C-alpha cells in the first residue's frame, strides 16, 4: 500500500489478504440475481452536504452515488472508489476479511486485465494510487493521464461487477497481508505503540483487530472472499469521486454505461463490538522488530470525537497545538480526521534514563501544555489551515490539484461518507472560547480516559 498524505499528519493505511481453502474455480463471479439496468435518479432527500464549486452529485437506480469534479486546475484525473465496508463489519472469526478483499480487489483478474502483483499495479499508476481498509470503509484510488478516462472507468466497473479471484491470488497476497499486520503490531515500534494503544482503547469483545487477526486470516477461504465481495463491494454500498481534467458529460455517460447494470449488493452490519477502554495501568508489550537496534516507544491514546460532536472544533484546536509543539522533536502525534477518525495518540522513543512511568508522564506534560494554552484570535485560523482542507472547511489550493489530486478526491469522498458539515464546523471554530477548550479537554483528554502503552524490543 502506498500512503498519499494530505496534510502534515501521520496517516496509517491498511491493505490485506489470506490463504484460503481449496474450492472449485469460479468463472467471472457475479451476483445470481441480476437487477434491472440502472438509470440516474434524484439524490435522496437529506443529502445536502455542500460540494466544492463545480462539483456535482449523482445517483443511479442501483444505488451507486458518484461525484464529478471537473476542473482545469488539474492536469490529470483521480478516480476514487469508496465502499461502506471495513474491518468492523468482518464476520466473527474472520477478522481481516475486508482487508483481504481490498488486496484481491486491486490484484485479481477483472475484465480485460489479468491477475497482477501489487508491484505491477503500482507500475500502472505512477502518478499515484491507494488501496486501504479502515474500520468502516474501503478506498480504491488511482491517478492517471486524462486520455485514459474511458479505460479506467471500464476497469473500475469490471472490478466492482466482474472480479475473478483465484486461489493463486490468495496464495500470493497472504504473505503481504501478514507482513503488513506484523509491522503494525511488532515489526515497527513506532507503529506498534500506536496500534497496541488503539487495541487497548477499543478492546474487541468479538475477536477483531485492526488489520486482521493473523490466525483468523489464515483460515479465510476463496469462497469467503468471493461472497464478501459479491455482497458488499457493490453500487448500493459505493461512492465514486472523479476529480481532475475531464468532460463531465463524457464521464457521466461512461459511468452510466459501465456501472449501470451491476447488481446493487447489500450494506453490511457492524459486528465488532468494543468493550470499555483499558485505562489505568501501563500496558507493557514485548515486540520483535524487523530492524536491529530498534528503539522502545511509549504512547498514550484517547478516543476522538466524531465531526458532529459538540467538542470536535475545540478538539481540533488542541490537536493543532500538539502538532506545532512536536515539530522539532521526536514525538509523534497521530490524528487522521478521515483515515482513522476515532483515535488521537501521542508517542515518543523511550529515553534510557527514564522509567516507563516517567516516559508516559512526559507525554502527558506535553498534552497538558497544549490544553492549558490560552486561545488566541489567530489560532482558529491556523487550525483551519492545518486541518481544514481535509475536512472541507477551506478551498483546495491550486498546487494540490497539481501535486496531490488524489487528496482532493479522497477528502471529498471521506467527508461525504462521514457527512461532515464543513460550514457548521468552520463556524464552530470561529466561535470557540477558552471555556470550550477546557470542556473538550475534560471530555476527551482527561487522564482517567487515557490508555498508556510501552513497547520494547525483545
The CATH number that applies at residue 117 is 3.30.830.10
298 and 244 share a domain? no
Res 125 pLDDT > 70: yes
Number of domains the chain contains: 2
171 and 291 share a domain? no
Helix, strand or coil for residue 367? Answer: helix
Q: How many CB atoms are closer than 10 A to CB 253?
A: 13
Burial class (CB in 10 A: 0-12, 13-18, 19+), 382: middle
State the DSSP code for 148.
G
Averaged pLDDT score across all residues of the chain = 90
Tell me the residue range of the domain where 187 lies. 40-259
408 and 362 share a domain? yes
Q: How far apart are CA 114 and CA 109, in angstroms?
A: 4
307 and 444 share a domain? yes
Helix, strand or coil for residue 334? Answer: strand
Q: Phi first, then psi: give them for residue 71, nearest 5 degrees.
A: -155, 140
Q: Which residues of 305-330 are buried (b: 16+ CB within 10 A; e: fewer)?
A: bebeeebbbbbbbbbbbbbebbeeee
Element (H, E) at 292: none
The answer to the question of residue 53 being in a domain is yes
Q: What percent of the chain has pLDDT over 90?
A: 85
248 and 292 share a domain? no
Single out the residue of 204, 66, 81 nearest to residue 135, CA to CA.
204
Over range 179-199, report the average pLDDT. Answer: 95
State the pTM of this model.
0.89
How many residues are present in the chain? 458
pLDDT band at residue 48 under the 50/70/90 scheme = low
pLDDT digits over 339-391, tens only?
A: 999 999 999 999 889 999 999 999 999 999 999 999 998 999 999 999 999 99
Amino acid at each position: 500500500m502506498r500512503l498519499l498524505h494530505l496534510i502534515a499528519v501521520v496517516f496509517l493505511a491498511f491493505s490485506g489478504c489470506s490463504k484460503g481453502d481449496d474450492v472449485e474455480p469460479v468463472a467471472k463471479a457475479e451476483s445470481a440475481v441480476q437487477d434491472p439496468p440502472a438509470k440516474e435518479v434524484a439524490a435522496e432527500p437529506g443529502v445536502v452536504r455542500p460540494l466544492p464549486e463545480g462539483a456535482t452529485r449523482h445517483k443511479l437506480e442501483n444505488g451507486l452515488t458518484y461525484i464529478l469534479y471537473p476542473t482545469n486546475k488539474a492536469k490529470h484525473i483521480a478516480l476514487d472508489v469508496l465502499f461502506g465496508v471495513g474491518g468492523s463489519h468482518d464476520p466473527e472469526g474472520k477478522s481481516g476479511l475486508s482487508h483481504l478483499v481490498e488486496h484481491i480487489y486491486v490484484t485479481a483478474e477483472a475484465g480485460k486485465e489479468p491477475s497482477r502483483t501489487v508491484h505491477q499495479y503500482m507500475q500502472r499508476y505512477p502518478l499515484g494510487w491507494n488501496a486501504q481498509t479502515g474500520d468502516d470503509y474501503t478506498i480504491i484510488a488511482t491517478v492517471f493521464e486524462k486520455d485514459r478516462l474511458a479505460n479506467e472507468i471500464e476497469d473500475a466497473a469490471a472490478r466492482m461487477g466482474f472480479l475473478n479471484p483465484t486461489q493463486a491470488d490468495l496464495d500470493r497476497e497472504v504473505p503481504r497481508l501478514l507482513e503488513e499486520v506484523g509491522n503494525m503490531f511488532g515489526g515497527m515500534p513506532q507503529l506498534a505503540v500506536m496500534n497496541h494503544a488503539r487495541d487497548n482503547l477499543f478492546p474487541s469483545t468479538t475477536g477483531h483487530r485492526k488489520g486482521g487477526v493473523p490466525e483468523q486470516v489464515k483460515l479465510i477461504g476463496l469462497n469467503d472472499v468471493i461472497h464478501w465481495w459479491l455482497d458488499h463491494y457493490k453500487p448500493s454500498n459505493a461512492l465514486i469521486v472523479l476529480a481532475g481534467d475531464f468532460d463531465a458529460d463524457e464521464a457521466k455517460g461512461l459511468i452510466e454505461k459501465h456501472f449501470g447494470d451491476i447488481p446493487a449488493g447489500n450494506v453490511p452490519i457492524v459486528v465488532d463490538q468494543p468493550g470499555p477502554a483499558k485505562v489505568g495501568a501501563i500496558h507493557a508489550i514485548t515486540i520483535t522488530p524487523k530492524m536491529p537496534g530498534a528503539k522502545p516507544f511509549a504512547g498514550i491514546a484517547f478516543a476522538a470525537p466524531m465531526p458532529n460532536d459538540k467538542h470536535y472544533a475545540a478538539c481540533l484546536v488542541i490537536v493543532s497545538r500538539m502538532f506545532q509543539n512536536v515539530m522539532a522533536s521526536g514525538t509523534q502525534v497521530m490524528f487522521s480526521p478521515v483515515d482513522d477518525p476515532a483515535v488521537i495518540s501521542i508517542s515518543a522513543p523511550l529515553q534510557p534514563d527514564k522509567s516507563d512511568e516517567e516516559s508516559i508522564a512526559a507525554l502527558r506534560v506535553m498534552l497538558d501544555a497544549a490544553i492549558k494554552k490560552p486561545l488566541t484570535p489567530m489560532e482558529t485560523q491556523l487550525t483551519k489551515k492545518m486541518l481544514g482542507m481535509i475536512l472541507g472547511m477551506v478551498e483546495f489550493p491550486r498546487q494540490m490539484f497539481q501535486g496531490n489530486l488524489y487528496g482532493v478526491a479522497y477528502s471529498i469522498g471521506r467527508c461525504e461518507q462521514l457527512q461532515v458539515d464543513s460550514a457548521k464546523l468552520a463556524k464552530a471554530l470561529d466561535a470557540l472560547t477558552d471555556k470550550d477548550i477546557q470542556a473538550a479537554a475534560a471530555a476527551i483528554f482527561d487522564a482517567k480516559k487515557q490508555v498508556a502503552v510501552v513497547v520494547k524490543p525483545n
